[in-house]
Structure 1
Amino acid sequence: MHLMSIGEFAREAGLTPKALRIYDDLQLLRPAEVDQSSGYRYYASDQLDAARLIAALRRIGMPLARIRVALEPRPGAAAEEVTAFWRQTEADARSRRMQVSALIADLRSKESTMTSTRTFRTRVAHALGQGARDAQLDAVHVGDIQWAVADGFGGTPSVSSRFVGMLAAEPQPIGDEQWDALAAACASGLDGEEKGSTFTALALRGDIATVAHLGDSRAWLLRDGSLRRLTSDHTEVAALVEDGRLTDEEARLHPRRAVLNRALAAGLPSDPDVTGVTVQAGDRLVLTTDGVHALLSDDALVALLSAETAASAVERVVDAVRGAGEPDNHAIIAVDILS
């Protein structure tokens, strides 16, 4: 029996050695042989189909128990299990949709209309860099109480520039109920175009910071040395991780980890998440595009953003992005909440 090294097998399977080690740990695909002295894994060529199938099933979020059934050596096992899995997934979604609608109606009926009258001063710094890209498709909006970053794709003229232009043209800060309409207006006319943008925006009213978010740009809150992410990425892989269907390690290796499932783009839902957070003096609110957070870990960002002022925090983040090779457009806004 011809055995292949883990590197050779990974190349043939279209995976990575790290992914194969994960599948070994999960007992989905064991090596054909392990060198007892070095611990090095070897695989047989007839394991390639199983490796490719496991990767495909994990990409659609199939849980481990179902994958084991799909790998049974009987005709039609894989197709049957995928069909059953997807029927259950769709049924679960329908059931959850009804529960969510009822919950939203109940919560809205109980919501208070109390509004804070407290007003904070702010100090703001931002940066916008092109990196190694041929064009600048990121954009920023820096207002008095409203700020946004946007990450365009598909070429110029950038949808991100369109978005921040429309935001800047609004005579008043966008309210909670207006974001859907603004996003829809920005995404209109893109039918057939492979262009679009993400955005994450922030508005401060009293002691409430409202965050509107679409795509994989991010909003953060730095408080007392602790960094909290205020948004969830709208990507295929992020949804699978949140559902517990992919591990964080698998997500980092996933070939579709950057594929958006919501954005300002043709063929994708463009309704943003709109949430709020109560702020206090000493907080630092931060907006980043993925040219920043795709390069820098959360731990690295905590250290960099903990600088004394918003300006020095932004400067340190930009220096770190450049030190990491600056492969992409990148944007950051830091807003200090002052008493």
Structure 2
Amino acid sequence: MFTVTTTQHRGKQQREQQDALFDGTRTVQSLNHPVSCNAHHTKGLLIAVADGVSVSPHPDLASRYWMDMLAQTQHSHSFDARLLRQIHSQMCKKMARGETYGSSTTLVAASIKNNLCTILNVGDSRAYHINTQGDWQQLSHDHTVLNEFIASGQAQSDEDYADIYSGLAHCLVADEGAFDFAIARAEKSLAVGECILLCSDGVHDVLSAEVLQQSFKEYPPRECVTHWRKQILRMGAPDNFSIVLAQLESLA
């Protein structure tokens, strides 16, 4: 059994909601989705967050497309890189033409079966594992230009660089020529009471890792989502933001 808590907002400086999330049951793409909590009496769960790339033509359509497609395939396909590439191919057939050509999004998704969680991500939307002591581990990988440079030895992880290098190196683009995107994969076994957090960069660019972690030590998991939402709005919410927090309640 899982408890899934979600929230979403367009951000105070945005006209539209470019994010989309999947809460295990439905796709949400709302200008203002208040904190919602649902129980899932199942041994399997799929959750996801997609953050449309604002400089692309229709980021809202791209993010929504990925959530809807994952929802359709959650019970009939294996959860792996091949699935993402199949959905990308379908995205290109549908959107890689006319005014939607080039529409783009990031993606982070978690498939939990029994107590094994598999994370897949493209871009900089993130997944964290949180244990019952409130200790955090980032499971996703930020596909940014800076991280590409660090991996190739052209930059150092302990040095500061200009903000331009925080731009995306990989994302999901409605372009048949953009098929070689990187996919990060991670696995984590969950104990009862532990959580998986998925969020767009409208969360982790505003609230530091230290702030997120400290909140989890002060509030129960479901109340944390409410607390984070209030903090982000109080700090101006410059970007769309989405949060999906799944807690493993029991293995029965």
Q: Partners of 2:9 and 2:213 in 1: how far apart?
A: 21
Gaps of 5+ in 1: 1-120
Residue pair 1:160, 1:197 contacting (<8 A) in 2 also: yes
Residue pair 1:184, 1:270 contacting (<8 A) in 2 also: no
> Which has more helix, going by share of residues?
1
Aligned residues: 219
**Counterpart of 1:204?**
112
Q: Partners of 1:222 and 1:179 in 2: how far apart?
A: 26
**Counterpart of 2:21?**
140
Q: Partners of 1:169 and 1:265 in 2: how far apart?
A: 19
Q: Partners of 1:251 and 1:146 in 2: how far apart?
A: 36
**Counterpart of 2:78?**
175
TM-score (norm 1): 0.59
Q: For residues 1-339 of structure 1, what are the structure 2 equivalents within 5 Å? A: 121-131=1-11, 132-143=13-24, 144=40, 145-153=45-53, 154-156=56-58, 157-170=60-73, 172=75, 174-177=77-80, 178-188=83-93, 189-190=95-96, 193-223=101-131, 224-248=133-157, 250-266=159-175, 267-268=177-178, 269-270=180-181, 272-339=183-250
Change (3 A) 1:183 1:304: farther
Q: What SS class does the counterpart of residue 182 from structure 1 fall into?
A: helix
Provide, for residues 136-190 of structure 1, a one-character-per-residue CA deviation record: whole Å limited to 9, x for no partner.
Answer: 1100001151100000122435200011111122261642342332233234442
Q: Partners of 1:174 and 1:270 in 2: how far apart?
A: 21
Q: Partners of 2:57 and 2:226 in 1: how far apart?
A: 28
Q: Partners of 1:251 and 1:162 in 2: how far apart?
A: 36
Amino acid at match of 2:61: S
Q: What SS class does the counterpart of residue 210 from structure 2 fall into?
A: helix
Q: Partners of 2:160 and 2:104 in 1: how far apart?
A: 23
Percent identical residues: 22
User: Whose Rg is larger?
Assistant: 1
RMSD: 2.3
Q: Partners of 1:190 and 1:202 in 2: how far apart?
A: 27
Amino acid at match of 2:86: A
Q: Partners of 1:305 and 1:259 in 2: how far apart?
A: 28
Change (3 A) 1:135 1:280: same
TM-score (norm 2): 0.78
Q: What SS class does the counterpart of residue 226 from structure 2 fall into?
A: helix
Residue pair 2:104, 2:171 contacting (<8 A) in 1 also: no
Gaps of 5+ in 2: 25-39
Residue pair 2:106, 2:172 contacting (<8 A) in 1 also: yes
Provide, for residues 281-315 of structure 1, a one-character-per-residue CA deviation record: whole Å limited to 9, x for no partner.
Answer: 12111001001111111111111234543321111
Change (3 A) 1:279 1:306: same
Change (3 A) 1:194 1:305: farther
Residue pair 1:219, 1:288 contacting (<8 A) in 2 also: yes
